[in-house]
Structure 1
Amino acid sequence: MTPTVGHTGPGPLSGTDAREAARIVMGECPRLPFLPELADRGIGADAVGRTGAMLADLPLDVSTRGWRLAGSVGRPARRAADLLDRDADALEEADEIARGVTVDRDLAREGRGRAGQEPVRPTERRLQVRVLGPWSLAARLELPGGMPVLTDRGARRDLAASLAEGAAAYAGRLGGRLGAGARILLDEPRLWHVAAGTVAGPSRFDPVPAVPAEQLSLSLCRFADALRTAGVAEVLVRAPGGAGPEAPARWEVVSEPPRGETPLDGLCVPAATLRAPGSGAPGVGQREVDPATPDAARAAAHAALDAAGTVLGDGRLLHLEGLPGGGRTPRTGSEVEHAAVGVLDLLDRLAASRCASLDRLVLTPTAGEVTTGREDAVAALAAVRRVAEATPPAAE
């Protein structure tokens, strides 16, 4: 059986029209659709507001500095919940239209889909919902007194339990409406700052202590267990790239689970993180790093490569955010083929079997490529789809 490379979007899209965003998603990512995030709509559509709207029995409101826990649900939180419901309705509507137009046409053509692929079957689908992970949410959300939730162990535990229950319920309901299993992507943009103790407090007199890497890893594994117990099919974590000397990457947190713990189902990492400055673009035969590249930069790239290789070697999923090699979005056939060779070159650098790893690889554009306008978003998602389709034949 020919392996397939997955493709989807990062989550954010430009604009304010939920229906238009949903049509784009279903047009380009029918096998692995994602819930669009339209932050241009303002308060309540931001990452904290959207994730907060999924919390179970934990009301939020806003302060002068941002979102905080509250005694009752504030108007911004009600708006966030309303926007989230509209996004779900728009995605279901776009899916119904796509099934009626595309799937029926596929069946009429002897079961063949776009580019000769098999039609989408509900049991094979996944709906990807991105939420702020428990550590980054605790770093961004305030207690009623103004300190980050991160500083209070009890509040942190309650927040994680509420998030697991609420996110699993939301993703499960929407996945059921689309005939898809739920895949939750835990976005942890503040993870390295949490590990380094560089999360900003309300003032310089209120430092936020670091959380040991072992505790971060254990809690993420157990948080994923709670989501899976609640019916989520797969749980992945999106780790940030390098955050600088003040917050060095600790890749073992997301790649090496503690002994006896069930690991997360996969890792999402910026493809640029896997390429040291000064290295040749993957796929053109230039793998050596420029000798002038700082040792720290090379070490950081090698550490990220080791983490990605560990995840693939363990049989887990690897999301690449952005295509290996960078550069502009491939548009011509030769550019798509070149990008596909770049993906295979990366697998070689990871010492991963090409045939065995392709089914566990997912390609997605970067957020920057899909938030500059509708045409750019469609072009970026279409390019990733074409590269994903071109990679298996290039591996033969």
Structure 2
Amino acid sequence: MSLPWSEASATGVGSYPGTDAAEVAKIALGELSLPHLPELPERGPGADMVGRSAGLLVELPVHLQPSGWRFADRPGLDLRRAHDFLKWDLDLLEEHAAEGPVKIQVCGPWTLAASIELRSGARALRDAGAVRDLTESLAEGVARHVAEVRRRLPRAEVLLQVDEPALPAVLTGRVPTASGFRTLRSIAGPVAAERLRTVLEASGAFPIVHCCAKDVPFGVLLEAGAKALSVEISAIPARDDDVIGEAIEAGIGFLFGVVPGVDARLPEPARSVEPVRDLWRRLGFPPGSIAGQVVVTPACGMAGASPRYVRQALAHCGKAAKSLADTPE
């Protein structure tokens, strides 16, 4: 499989601290070898991961309630705010990113279904028909979003990262009901993969799936058609060696989180990616293939970090990625 990034690439996951979108864009779009569209949830509702992606839904308007986002009868102020945030961020994307690969992020159908409420107040995940409608609406909205990015950046290759942090809980029946006293039924792996595939295929972009949970359902993500997986390197237990080995052999890309997403003391860059080298050695793959197949990232979004640490961490990711290219055969 041909991967769309250059060797020794580094990128961010999605979110950043603060409210100054122009300042963050200079870093995420101007200094990273794999630029990406940043998210700044501190700006308020509609700039958060769920609100931004809910704003992409076609003919399924949402509004904000004290308990969170809920389907509404008609678009309102909350939805207009989400659309405005995204438009402003796309203006910055157009200003700072000219050509080559660029990554955008959206919330996946299962995390949206576990987060958005029906008009009754129950989570959409409770209703199989609502999940189907949400998935189809999201697929259409994401396709339009990708088309808009391509219109603005005609010389860029769009990489679509679909964020599914709630998917492990969805698969194991750990999503709480609105009351919090019970949990919703679990969803079968093939059903989860089918819905996720609907969104990935509709986009027409290079599909990446991100999951920052500890129990990443690698098989489901690959069955859905992901061509790259974005996970924290420490989230890969030895029991998943077979599926990870098959993915590496098939040319699947990996965006490995190696740097904490909150302020922390950082080691030498080469030490941060030593777990990546250990994984390659354990599975018997030549170390010379790592730098082309792996992109180095923070462990997750960085909305909870300080601005100073963000700069340090992203620079650290870049240096760590370059050290992978120096891995001896």
TM-score (norm: length of structure 1): 0.75
In structure 1, distance between residues paired with 2:61 and 2:127 = 17
Name the counterpart of 1:391: 324
- Indicate whether 1:318 and 2:254 are aligned: yes
Q: Identify if the C-alpha distance between structure 1 residues 389 and 370 changes in structure 2 by more than 3 Å, giving closer, same or farther.
A: farther
2:177 pairs with 1:197: no
Which residue number corresponds to residue 21 of structure 1?
24
Residue 145 (structure 1) aligned to one of 105, 120, 137: 120
Distance across 2 between alignment mates of 1:207 and 1:271 = 29
Task: Structure 2 unaligned segments of length 5 or more: list them.
Answer: 1-5
Give the letter for the 1:393 counterpart: D
Aligned counterparts of 1:384 and 1:205: Cα–Cα separation in 2: 41
The equivalent of 2:283 in structure 1 is: 350
Counterpart of 1:58?
60
Q: Is 2:63 aligned against 1:130?
A: no
CA-to-partner distance for each residue in 1:195-223, whole Å, 9 max, x for gaps? 11121112257642111122112332343
- 2:10 maps to 7
Match of 2:157 in 1: 181
Distance in 2 separating the partners of 1:366 and 1:342: 13
Distance 2:212 2:327 in 1: 30
Closer, same or farther: CA 272–328 of 1 in aligned 2, 3 Å: farther
More strand by share: 2
Quick check: which has more Rg, 1 or 2? 1
3-state SS of paired residue (2:104) = strand
Contact map agreement 2:255 2:294 (CA 8 A) in 1: yes
Which residue does 1:32 correspond to in 2?
A: 34
1:223-266 deviation digits (Å, cap 9, x = unpaired) = 322222xxx2x111112332xxxxx65432224x2xxxx72211
The amino acid across from 2:207 in the alignment is V
Distance in 2, matches of 1:50 and 1:329, equals 31
How far is the alpha carbon of 1:165 from its aligned partner?
1.5
1:46 aligns with 2:48: yes
What per-residue deviation string (whole Å, max 9, x for no partner) do you get for residues 250-297 of structure 1?
Answer: 432224x2xxxx7221111111213xxxxxxxxxxxxxxxxxxxxxxx
Q: CA shift at 1:65, angstroms? A: 0.8
- Report what 1:266 is aligned to: 228
User: Contact between 2:72 and 2:119, CA under 8 Å: does it hold in 1?
Assistant: yes
1:172 aligns with 2:147: yes
Shift of 1:369: 5.4
For the 8 Å contact 1:340–1:394, the answer to whether it is kept is: no
Secondary structure of the structure 1 residue equivalent to 2:37: coil
Q: What is the identity, as a one-letter code, of the residue corresponding to 1:25?
A: A
Q: Contact between 1:348 and 1:354, CA under 8 Å: does it hold in 2?
A: yes
Distance 1:194 1:53 in 2: 22
Q: Which residue of 2 aligns with 1:155?
A: 130
Distance 2:36 2:110 in 1: 22
In the alignment, the residues of structure 2 paired with residue 340 and residue 68 of structure 1 have an alpha-carbon distance, to the nearest angstrom, of: 41
Query: CA–CA distance in 2 between the matches of 1:345 and 1:149?
Result: 41
Equivalent pairs counted in the alignment come to 321
CA contact (8 A) 1:370 1:377 kept: no
Mapped contact 1:62–1:74 kept (Cα < 8 A): no
**Partner-residue secondary structure (3-state), 2:191:** helix
Relative to the length of structure 2, the TM-score reads: 0.89
Match of 2:197 in 1: 221
Identity %: 33
**Residue type of the alignment partner of 1:253:** V
CA RMSD between the two structures: 2.4
Asked whether the equivalents of residues 321 and 363 of structure 1 are also in contact (C-alpha less than 8 Å), the reply is yes
Q: Which has the higher contact order (CA 8 A, sep 6+)?
A: 2
Indicate conservation of the 8 Å contact 2:212/2:300, yes or no: no
Distance 1:27 1:308 in 2: 32
Q: Which amino acid aligns with 2:211?
A: A
TM-superposed deviation, 1:25: 1.3
| Compared CA separation, residues 180 and 342, structure 1 to 2 (3 A) | same
- Tell me the CA shift for residue 341 of structure 1: 4.7
- For residue 197 of structure 1, give the secondary structure of its aligned residue in structure 2: coil
Structure 1: which 5+ runs fail to align? 97-121, 243-247, 275-300
Aligned pairs for 1:283-362 within 5 A: 301-323=237-259, 328-330=265-267, 335-362=268-295
Mapped contact 2:16–2:301 kept (Cα < 8 A) = no
1:209 aligns with 2:185: yes
Letter in 2 for 1:132: C
Corresponding residue for residue 74 of structure 1: 76
CA distance in 1, matches of 2:25, 2:284: 37
CA distance 1:337–1:313, shift in 2 (3 Å): same
The structure-2 alpha-carbon separation of the partners of 1:176 and 1:362, relative to structure 1 and needing over 3 Å to count, comes to farther
- The code of the aligned residue for 1:240 comes to C
